[in-house]
Chains A and B, each alone.
Chain A
Amino acid sequence: MVSQVPEAITTRDPTQRDTGGAYGWATNDSPDLRWVSARAVAELLSPSEPCTTIVDGYVTLELSDWLSPDTSTPESEGSQKDTCSAPSRTLVTVGGLNRWWKAEPTLNCTFHFQGRFDALTQEWKRDTRASSSITEIAMHPAYQQIIGMGKQALPFIFRELQEEPDHWFWALKAITGEDPVPPAARGRLSAMRQAWLEWAGRNGYQAWVSSWPL
């Protein structure tokens, strides 16, 4: 069954002030999306400078200087570095995103992007399970839509690849234009998976891969 994209984000204002949403919190209360917040935020902050860590089930988010100061933010709430912790398996709460939230409405898009990726992946795996043709597997409409997502799909593909080997290599080659797999390893999924995860490390994705709890 194709999963529906949940309503992943609700916003609330912990200060109970009329802030027009500028000081709201982004909350992911969907158990299906329990890792999205950390990745989504890390992706938008900087893939090459990971700023998110997950320790003992808690997410710690540090906002970096990538964010431009919001002069309208009160001093007590507007520091350049905010930390928020929450039990990530049940609720990932990202706090202190006031300026970013205001400046980058794509947070919603990213959450929904994850849901769309997961739904397409399920559809693709279900429909192509009995196919031996790599071409048929890769030309499935759901797989093609994932390729169409471009580089934004890479973190999610690497997460899938880390969890279990599967035929993501066509998509990775199509999206990146690269092929780190030696010719002798073609068709050997374990070796291909290893080559691509190493590529992920060299290109700023490794911190995410290693920090994704399974």
Chain B
Amino acid sequence: MGRPQRLPGLGLVVAFVTTSPATPEYNCIAWAAGESDRFWWPDRMETAYWPEGVPRSETVEAFIQAYRTLGYEICDSPALEPGVEKIAIYVNNRVDREPTHAARQLPSGKWTSKLGRAEDIEHDALQGDYPPGCRYGEEATFLARARPATED
């Protein structure tokens, strides 16, 4: 953890750094919301946490509503802005464009992501920096709120 990883035999340094051990206790949606003790997802089986009053629907709109409960609002771009914390919501490339992933911007401008039930990583770009096997589609929506004072 904590260092760029070299893919064996390829001489390549991948553009992400793992920052936590693998755990199924939380996922990227929770991690983007700043939580690491429960799994967020609007599953209709109601096994995961989802903010009360927000539809359990796997749509971008429902995810935006979920993050709105924490003070986020839609913004135009992922560009780093002082004092602003941003989240990117990814959707799949299918017609339904269901949410697949979320990443949160750090004060440095890098992004932090939880990879499903695997590790957290820190990465520079929103695309192209994920480990092999991660198929999250494309970022579709950006959200922003005032960055909590303790993180600046």
A170 and B47 contacting across the interface, CB-CB below 8 Å: yes
Residues of chain A within 8 A of B134, CB atoms compared: 130
Q: Which of B8-16, B34-42, B140-148 contacts A (4 or more CB under 8 A)?
A: B34-42
A132 and B114 contacting across the interface, CB-CB below 8 Å: yes
Which B116-135 residues have C-beta < 8 A from chain A?
116-118, 131, 133-135
A138 in contact (CB, < 8 A): yes
B24 and A134 contacting across the interface, CB-CB below 8 Å: no
Contact flag A190-B25 (CB < 8 Å), given A130-B133, A132-B114, A138-B45: yes
User: Which of A132, A173, A186, A187 has most chain B Cβ within 10 Å?
Assistant: A132
A38 in contact (CB, < 8 A): no
Residues of chain B within 8 A of A128, CB atoms compared: 116-117
Which A178-214 residues have C-beta < 8 A from chain B?
179, 181, 183, 186-190, 192
Alpha-carbon separation in the docked complex, A167 to B45 (Å):
12
Contact flag A188-B49 (CB < 8 Å), given A130-B133, A132-B100, A133-B100: yes
Residues of chain A within 8 A of B22, CB atoms compared: 129
A186 and B49 contacting across the interface, CB-CB below 8 Å: yes
Residues of chain A within 8 A of B58, CB atoms compared: 133, 135
Alpha-carbon separation in the docked complex, A128 to B134 (Å):
10
Interface magnitude class on chain B = 35 or more
- In the complex, the chain A residue whose C-beta lies closest to that of B101 is A132
Interface residue total, chain A, C-beta cutoff 8 A = 25
Residues of chain A within 8 A of B101, CB atoms compared: 132
Majority SS at the chain B contact face = loop
Residues of chain A within 8 A of B133, CB atoms compared: 129-130
B43 in contact (CB, < 8 A): yes
Alpha-carbon separation in the docked complex, A186 to B52 (Å):
12
A47 in contact (CB, < 8 A): no
B41 and A133 contacting across the interface, CB-CB below 8 Å: yes
B105 in contact (CB, < 8 A): no
A166 in contact (CB, < 8 A): yes
A165 and B47 contacting across the interface, CB-CB below 8 Å: no
Residues of chain A within 8 A of B43, CB atoms compared: 134-135, 138, 170
Alpha-carbon separation in the docked complex, A189 to B36 (Å):
11
Alpha-carbon separation in the docked complex, A30 to B137 (Å):
43
A169 in contact (CB, < 8 A): yes
A186 and B47 contacting across the interface, CB-CB below 8 Å: yes
Known contacts A134-B45, A189-B38; 20 further A-B pairs (Cβ under 8 A): A128-B117, A129-B133, A131-B117, A132-B27, A132-B29, A132-B101, A132-B114, A132-B116, A133-B100, A134-B48, A165-B25, A170-B43, A170-B47, A186-B47, A186-B49, A187-B38, A187-B39, A187-B47, A188-B37, A192-B47
B residues apposed to A, CB below 8 Å: 22, 24-25, 27-30, 37-41, 43-50, 58, 98-102, 114-118, 131, 133-135
